[in-house]
Amino acid sequence: MNFPFLKKLKNPLSKKEENFLNSLKPIIGYKPTKIHYFKKAFTHSSVKKELNGKPFNYERLEFLGDTFLDAIVSNYLYVNSPDGDEGYLTQMRSKIVSRENLNKVGKELNLISLVQSSVKKKHFGENIYGNLYEAVTGAVFLDKGYDGCKKFIHKTLLDPYVDIKRLEGKITSYKSVLIEWCQKNKLKFDFAIKDENSKEKTKHFTVNCIIEQKIISKGRATSKKKAEEIAARRAYYTLQNEIEK
C-alpha cells in the first residue's frame, strides 16, 4: 500500500535551507523546486566543496547562464529592433550583457548576501556580482527551463534596465572610439604602459595616452586593460568636441 503523504516527509528541508529559499524567492520570483542548483549557484570556489568527487561551485553554472543570457537578449533585440543589421544587433547585445551592466544587476539584487565563501566579501572585486547573476540564470534554466529563464532575465535585466534608444548612444569602449578616431584622421597614437614600483600590496599600472607625441591623459588601475580604458576615457572627454565633429 502506498502512502503519498510519506513522500512529503522524505528529506524535509532544514531551517537553514528554508531560510535560503525564502531569501531567494524575491530575487528569482518564485520558490525553486531544485534547490541543489541554487546552492551551487551561491557557492564560491574558495570553499573547495566537492560532490561525488567533483567541484561544487558556481563556475559551470556561470558558463551556462552566460549562454542563455546571450540567446535570450539576442532574441529580444531581434524582435524589438527589426531594422537593425547583424553588426548593430551584436553591438547592442554587447552593451546589454556587458560586465558593467551585469555587475549592476547583481549588486541591485544583493546576490552577494547569499554567497558561501572563505573569502571575506569586502575582498571580492566588482565582477562577483555579474558572476553570481550569470550562475543564478543558469540555475533558473535548469529548474524552470527556457521559458522560466526568459521570464527571469526579462524581470531582472531587460525590463528594468534596457532602453534601446538610450543604449544606442552608450560607449562601451572609449579606447576603441579613440583608436578609430585617430586612424580616421591619420593621427599617431600610443598607450604607453608603466609598471609601478611601490610598497602597495596590490600592483598598479599607469598608462599614458599619447597622440601625436603629446600626452593627452593618464590612467591608473590594477590591470593594464583597465588603466588603458581610464586613460582613453579621459582623453575622449578632453577631445570630445573634436571627436564628435
Give the containing element (helix H, strand E) for 220: strand 214-221
Q: Which regions of 15-173 does DSSP assign to beta strands (E)?
A: 50-51, 54-55
Distances 86 to 130, 166, 174 between C-alpha atoms, Å? 26, 19, 22
* 217 DSSP β-pair partners: 209
Catalytic one among 18, 50, 66, 196? 66
SS3 label, residue 166: helix
Place of cell 580604458: 229
Exactly one of 134, 143, 228, 229 is catalytic; which is it? 134
d(C-alpha 170, C-alpha 221), whole Å: 22
How many Cβ atoms sit within 10 Å of the Cβ of residue 208?
A: 18
Residue 134 catalytic?
A: yes
Report CA-CA distances (Å) from 107 to 25, 78, 102, 124, 167. Answer: 16, 28, 8, 12, 20
Contact 101, 95 (CB under 8 A): yes
Stretch (H or E) spanning 162:
none
Bridge partners of 208? 192, 218
Query: Looking at the annotation, which residues are catalytic?
Result: 66, 134
